[in-house]
Amino acid sequence: MERVDVDDKCRFADDNTWLVQCWFYLRLRDHPDLNYYAYPLDLCAEVDEDLKVTKVYRLPLSPDERISNEQRPFDLERIHSTAASEYHPDLRPSPRTTTKPYQVVQPEGPSFSIEGQKVSWEKWSFRVGFNYREGLTLHDIRYDERSLFYRLSLAEMFVPYGDPRAPYPRKAAFDLGNDGAGINANNLQLGCDCLGRFEEESVQVMSLTVSLTIQAPSSTSTPGTMTPKAPRSNCPT
């Protein structure tokens, strides 16, 4: 059964009133990891802080169009194969089976060492941190005991949508400020995201537990204990 998902991508002020732009997407299948962004609808709504819809308009679909209130049916030709737009293995064709096995080993163990939050490798050393907004942070980065950086982190990831026509200039995502890299982090899994040996450190951010992973190849790997944010089913078994 089809349904519509709403994404509130932009917040702005108009006549001293805060408004939110809502973008609509068609969900064609009932799957929690469906990529509904592959089926955008040509609708946009502006909603005020009292959740009252103040404006609804049609979005341009071709280079010569502008926003309008023209009524038109959904173009069924925009529905395409899941192989072209989906990422979850349940929604895609079976992966190839012709590749040869790939093994990475380091019989003598890793070259790095970990003491609490401090990671040392060759002449490098740094401390690992984590927070809700930025995700992974690095502190006191040194080379041969010489201080290079006090703190390193990803400050923001700004995603502007390049169409200059209204309302697209306001459709800009601040992925860290609006959503948060830490709260959207996934735990890595041995054999899927990591090969060989890895070290993990669980951190608690509000009600979210994630594991920081530092990896090195090894011939005697053990998966360790993980507490993922949500079950993942997109890893090979």
pLDDT of amino acid 223: 35
- Under 8 Å CB-to-CB from 232, ≥6 apart: which residues? 186, 189, 192
Domains of the chain plus CATH, in order, are 3-91 (3.10.450.40), 112-170+180-216 (no CATH)
Query: Could you tell me how far CA 2 lies from the centroid of its own chain?
Result: 25
Number of neighbours of residue 97 by Cβ within 10 angstroms: 5
SS (H, E, C) the chain: CCEEEEEEEEEEEECCEEEEEEEEEEECCCCCCCCHHHCEEEEEEEEECCCCEEEEEECCCCCCCCCECCCCCCCHHHCCCHHHCCCCHHHCCCCCCCCCCCCCCCCCCCCEEEECCEEEECCEEEEEEEECCCEEEEEEEEECCEEEEEEEECCCCEEECCCCCCCHHHCEEEHHHHHCCCCCCCCCCECCCECCEEEEEEEEECCEEEEEEEEECCCCCCCCCCCCCCCCCCCCC
Rounded distance between C-alpha atoms, residue 228 and residue 208, angstroms: 9
pLDDT of amino acid 120: 95
Among residues 199, 189, 184, which one has the least CA distance to residue 110?
Answer: 199
137 touches 131 (CB < 8 A): yes
pLDDT of amino acid 74: 79
pLDDT of amino acid 230: 44
Q: Beta partners for 194?
A: 190
DSSP designation for 175: I
pLDDT of amino acid 201: 65
126 touches 141 (CB < 8 A): yes
Quote the pTM value: 0.69
Per-residue pLDDT of the chain (237 residues; tens, 9 = 90+): 468 888 887 777 777 888 888 999 988 888 888 888 888 888 899 999 889 999 998 988 888 888 888 888 877 777 878 788 888 888 888 888 898 887 778 888 888 898 988 999 999 999 999 998 999 999 999 999 999 999 999 999 888 777 888 888 888 778 888 888 888 887 777 777 777 666 666 665 554 444 555 555 444 333 333 333 444 445 544
User: What distance, in Å, lies between the first and last C-alpha atoms of the chain?
Assistant: 31
**Degrees (nearest 5) of the Cα angle 128, 131, 132?**
155
- Under 8 Å CB-to-CB from 185, ≥6 apart: which residues? 135, 210, 229
Rounded distance between C-alpha atoms, residue 232 and residue 237, angstroms: 12
pLDDT of amino acid 141: 97
